[in-house]
Amino acid sequence: MIVPLDEGVRELVGDGDTVALEGFTHLIPVAAGHEIIRQGRRDLTLVRMTPDIVYDQLIGAGCAARLVFSWGGNPGVGSLHRFRDAIQHGWPRPLEIEEHSHAGMANRYVAGASGLPFAVLRGYAGTDLVGQTETIKTVECPFTGEHLAAVPALNPDVTIVHAQRADRAGNVQLWGITGIQKEAVLAAQRSLVTVEEVVDELKPVAGQVILPARVVSAVAEVPGGSRPSYAHGYYARDNSAYQDWDAVSRDRERFAEWLENEVGAQAPLPGKAG
């Protein structure tokens, strides 16, 4: 149940898997993302509402074949340059995208967690997303005749989240902005949770979400595992790291250096466009 991070990733994440790393600005599982890069996973379908810098890194390192998302940016800073390079120039490999809105993605996870094939919402009407994304359809309400958007359930092979604490049995506790983590874990076939600390007893905290051990495949203790994102009650968001990422990610060579120095991973072959 409690495993080292490298073992957790090795056992739970395979090449070609659909993998969701969730955490809405808060509690982003950055260390686990870096471990996926180090282990050289390939052809992943990466799922995330808000691909931010850890997805920029996974995409730049060549781990992803597809991205399912609703907002891909560096929050408060600007664009994701590795993501842009992949879409605009196919570097280091072409990236297929499946693009939604936040409301659509949130409901896709809810359907996945609920064991339903699809979700219904008031959404997308009049937008060009309807014409670009095959997984947006319309259904007629059988009771009122109203036309509503339908989006298919998301059921990742594995969901990875970061949380504040777990107990030794693998029950997980998180609080603060809890985002979409509960739904993303319940929707997945397998789940890996990295935590700030493993404790003997989970003391109740206001606004907490508990993920019972029976829906958690493995827990890895990784203090600081969401930096430069933050862990409410442990450490603050490192806003300057997000600002600094802009310059690192703009340049392929600088990114490659960062990858070797900070993650200890092989850079993708320069210039090898898809």
Partner 1 sequence: MTTATGYTSDEMMTVAAAHALTSEMACFVGIGLPSTAANLACRTHAPGLWMIYESGTLGTRPDTLPLSIGDGVLAETADTVVSVPEVFNYWLQPGRIDVGFLGAAQIDRYANINTTVIGDYADPKVRLPGAGGAPEIAASCREVVVIVRQNTRAFVERVDFVTSLGHGGGPGDRERLGLRGFGPTRVITDLGVLKPDPATRELTLVQLHPGVTVEDARAATGWDLAVSPELATTPEPTAEELSVLRSLTGRG
**Rule CB under 8 A: which residues touch partner 1?**
24-26, 49-50, 69-73, 75-77, 79-80, 83-84, 87-88, 99-103, 106-107, 109-110, 121-129, 132, 146-147, 176-180, 182-183, 207, 230, 232, 236-237, 239, 242
Give the Cα separation of 208 and 69 in Å (integer).
Answer: 26
Percent of residues in the chain assigned helix, strand, coil, to nearest 5: 30, 25, 45
Q: Which is nearer to partner 1, 14 or 176 (CB)?
A: 176
Q: Which is nearer to partner 1, 54 or 180 (CB)?
A: 180
Query: Smallest gap, in angstroms, from Cβ of residue 33 to partner 1?
Result: 17
Q: Which is nearer to partner 1, 78 or 223 (CB)?
A: 78
Q: Read off the amino acid at residue 25.
A: T
Query: Smallest gap, in angstroms, from Cβ of residue 261 to partner 1?
Result: 25
Nearest to 184 by CA among 68, 15, 74: 68
Burial of 61-82, coded b for 16+ CB within 10 Å and e otherwise, reads bbbbbbbbbbebbbeeeeebbb
Q: Which is nearer to partner 1, 100 or 162 (CB)?
A: 100
Its sign, for the CA torsion 197, 199, 205, 210, is: positive
Query: Smallest gap, in angstroms, from Cβ of residue 106 to partner 1?
Result: 4
Q: Are strands 64-69 and 44-48 parallel, antiparallel or unpaired?
A: parallel
Query: Smallest gap, in angstroms, from Cβ of residue 26 to partner 1?
Result: 5
